[in-house]
Structure 1
């Protein structure tokens, strides 16, 4: 995933992801070639995605895609395609990789220290490319996961 794009796609969206190094540290680049938009997320922003729910995404994202059932991904067999790519800085440690769930490609984001994991489908990844910095700040309002869990 480093330098080379990894494609996460289905019939409704295409997202290209890769690890890039900037002068400010490592970032997860999410690129939507169909929309010609991209976003660069630092390790803390990546980690904050790991504990979000479909409801949080629906309530927070600007023009969110149709929500995917969390139960659907929790109970399904996860087939790994790639090794984890590590994103770390002084505030966060996350692992990211492409997986397949029920035949569909997803981006797995795992926060081992906080014990959270999420599987993002292509439409949701694509929608992240047009969000504002204020949207990502809302995900950090609870910096260690949902209130009362840590």
Structure 2
């Protein structure tokens, strides 16, 4: 996995796997987060990632909300992660992508819209649907 020096959006599943010690992907996901903290690449997350993380941990894993809030505070206060928020440009790009890529999941398209607006080259994810989008690089650290 060659990500050194690149701008990388980290998909929610990486954070989930790094939280789930029983996951087969726990070690590799944790390594990605270590690389992030060692500044081997420039890391980005979106408000959408934070919402997805919260929803999955509280609904599927049944984590108490107070624990998820603690996690989120750590994530948003990490100076090595650039936090991205929706903008008019993101919305315009998202609408273009919806027309151009009608078969791709809506939430994935919204992440790609962020990538295009902010010039992010790579997404680190376990979701291979992103491979259908031609002008982004998809890195799956698990396979």
TM-score > 0.5 by shorter chain? no
Higher strand share: 1
Higher helix share: 2
Normalising TM by the smaller chain, what interval? under 0.3
Normalised to the residue count of structure 2, the TM-score between the two structures is 0.26
Higher relative contact order (CA 8 A, sep 6+): 2
